[in-house]
Chains A and B, each alone.
Chain A
Amino acid sequence: MSDLIKLIEAEYLSKVQENEKIDLSFKAGDNVNVYVNIKEGNKERTQLFAGTVIQRKNPNTNGETFTVRKISNGIAVERIFPVICSSIEKIEVTRRGKVRRARLYYLRDRMGKSARVKEKIVRKSK
């Protein structure tokens, strides 16, 4: 990609990267809590969407998105969020996953116990 395009995008990306509430360190396999502002009539409230990140697309660009998958009442729900999004209030990483690939599409074919992701034990740096 052209350096000049990166220059334009950096301005928008840095706003999100410098936002302390938004933790962008997650990867595929991690569990995240995404707090989204939604409008209902005149009222605005924050909704939580918690699940496993199954992919991050177009990293480090203005068009970067990530997909979060969760099982809600036995029904799988996937939601795609743009990283640069004014309605995202907060992102928390709740668990690091140990996975071997960047796109966890295989989780879609699995149910119950086999659809789990192993936890990655992060050793504290000395």
Chain B
Amino acid sequence: MSGLIGKKIGMTSVMTEAGQNVACTLLEVGPCAVTQIKTKEKDGYEAVQLAYGDKKEKNVSNPLLGHFKKAGVTPKAKLVEFKTFENGLQVGQEVAAADVLAEGDFVDVVGTSKGKGFQGVVKRYNFGGVGQATHGQHNRLRAPGSIGACSTPSRVFKGMRMAGRMGGERVKVQNLQVLKVLSDKNLVLVSGSVPGSKSSIVILEK
């Protein structure tokens, strides 16, 4: 799995040659700096560590600052490891969007979904609600219903789906097609939607 780190810019739509209007998301991908190359001998597994996004030096902790200085790059906001990258990368090197992605490729995109706050079960788990507004229902239209039996087991099972905080979690969307790669501006246009708000950090896995 090779990949890159980027930023979500926003959505638009594009007319394909077949005459279909496709919703798509514009991502700014890279340039990512190689900060570490992990080897089987030293670390027990092989991986390439990439870094993306600028961060002020005063906001970076000392151990991380040392890590960046060792690699010879400026402090970055996000570090991600990718397992199978093509060989020949060196620490301190920059990886651009066009080096990894080409038009027509299928990628998985990982992001942090938008926070929805405290939500009930109808929105959070797609419960049906009561389904009726009459026949004695006056205040329980979106209630979850029963959450278990009575004296056996006399407790609520773990993992019971209930109301609570929704969103703000890691979400992966699979098989988005790369429609366009603008190498000079490091922009990538992928079909479909991508989790997270505008300017949130996303990881592209190929």
Contact = CB atoms under 8 A, between A and B. Distances in A.
Contacts of A5: 9-12, 26
Contacts of B15: 12, 62, 82, 84-86
B12 A61 contact: yes
A73 interface: no
B9 to A, nearest CB: 5
B188 to A, nearest CB: 10
A121 interface: no
A1 B19 contact: no
B189 to A, nearest CB: 6
B10 A2 contact: yes
Nearest to A85: B15
A86 B19 CA distance: 6
Contacts of B19: 85-87
A63 B13 contact: yes
Nearest to B180: A8
Given A12-B14, A61-B12, A62-B13, A4 B180 contact: no
A84 B15 CA distance: 7
A119 interface: no
B189 A8 contact: yes
A74 B9 CA distance: 48
A9 B14 CA distance: 8
B67 interface: no
Interface of A is mostly: loop
Interface string A46-85: 0000000000000001110000000000000000001011
B75 to A, nearest CB: 24
Contact of B187 (A8, A12, A62, A86): A8
A5 B15 CA distance: 15
Nearest to A37: B19
B81 interface: no
Nearest to A4: B9
Contact of B26 (A8, A12, A82, A86): A8
Contacts of A87: 19
B21 A9 contact: no
Contacts of A12: 14-15
Interface string A1-45: 110110111001000000000000000000000000000000000
Contacts of A63: 12-13
Contacts of B182: 8
B185 interface: yes
B28 interface: yes
B187 A4 contact: yes
Interface in B132-187: 180, 182, 185, 187
A52 to B, nearest CB: 25
User: Which of B15, B17, B198 is packed against the most chain A CB atoms within 10 Å?
Assistant: B15
27 contacts: A1-B10, A2-B10, A4-B10, A4-B28, A4-B185, A4-B187, A5-B11, A5-B26, A7-B185, A7-B187, A8-B12, A8-B26, A8-B187, A8-B189, A12-B14, A12-B15, A62-B12, A62-B13, A62-B15, A63-B12, A84-B15, A84-B21, A85-B15, A85-B19, A86-B15, A86-B19, A87-B19
